[in-house]
Chain A
């Protein structure tokens, strides 16, 4: 158990809809990262938050947005969903001053029909 909790584990929805994925980092970790894992793209970095502020942005679509709340949990919002958004979405956290290791949750599997 990494200590990172993601909900929901599975989600099935239709094209055009909007979903929210939730992540609770390990206790004390200030950084949260979101990654998308798909068969054709591998593991793609989406976005990072540190203590409530956006720190780095990767290949995140404009239809996607994220935020980190004062209690440090994070949400990834995916809107106007397309078939190609079907993927496994991972959240990870890390501690300040660590050696760069990320701790991953078990992922949220999104299926868009």
Chain B
């Protein structure tokens, strides 16, 4: 079945460091890919998305490119801030099955120190 694998955390960085969180997926068909962020005590919020191969999603300085050849959707940010500390989830939509549900990776905790 479809699945998403993320790099294990926690990831601890100093402010202004470069961030990469790896995400790879296994899917049939052509799913859409998402990054969600969960701040402490809150629900999940959509960070960015890409709906087809070679699309780049971007938001709040974060970027991820849909790479079909490597089945990856790595999240990057050039300069992290303390306020970026959160749990990040990579996800894919089972669009071909028409249910609309999302399959999530296990989440990666990011801690940014001042």
Q: How far, in angstroms, from A48 to B103 measured CA to CA in the complex?
A: 13
User: Chain A binding site: helix, strand, loop or mixed by DSSP?
Assistant: strand
Residue pair B34, A45 in contact (C-beta under 8 Å)? no
Report how many residues on chain B are interfacial, defined by Cβ distance under 8 Å: 23
Interface size class on chain A is 20 to 34
Binary A-proximity of B93-114 (CB < 8 A = 1, otherwise 0):
1010101111111110000000
Residue pair A101, B106 in contact (C-beta under 8 Å)? no
Residue pair B45, A2 in contact (C-beta under 8 Å)? yes
Residue pair A104, B44 in contact (C-beta under 8 Å)? yes
Q: Are A100 and B95 also in contact (CB < 8 A) when A2-B45, A56-B101 are?
A: yes
Q: How far, in angstroms, from A48 to B36 measured CA to CA in the complex?
A: 19
Interface residues of A, Cβ cutoff 8 Å to B: 2, 4, 31, 33, 35, 42-43, 45, 48, 55-56, 58, 90, 92, 94, 99-107
**Top 4 A-B pairs, shortest CB-CB distance:** A100-B93, A56-B99, A104-B43, A43-B104
10 contacts between A and B (CB under 8 A): A42-B106, A42-B107, A45-B101, A45-B102, A90-B43, A94-B100, A99-B51, A100-B34, A102-B46, A102-B100
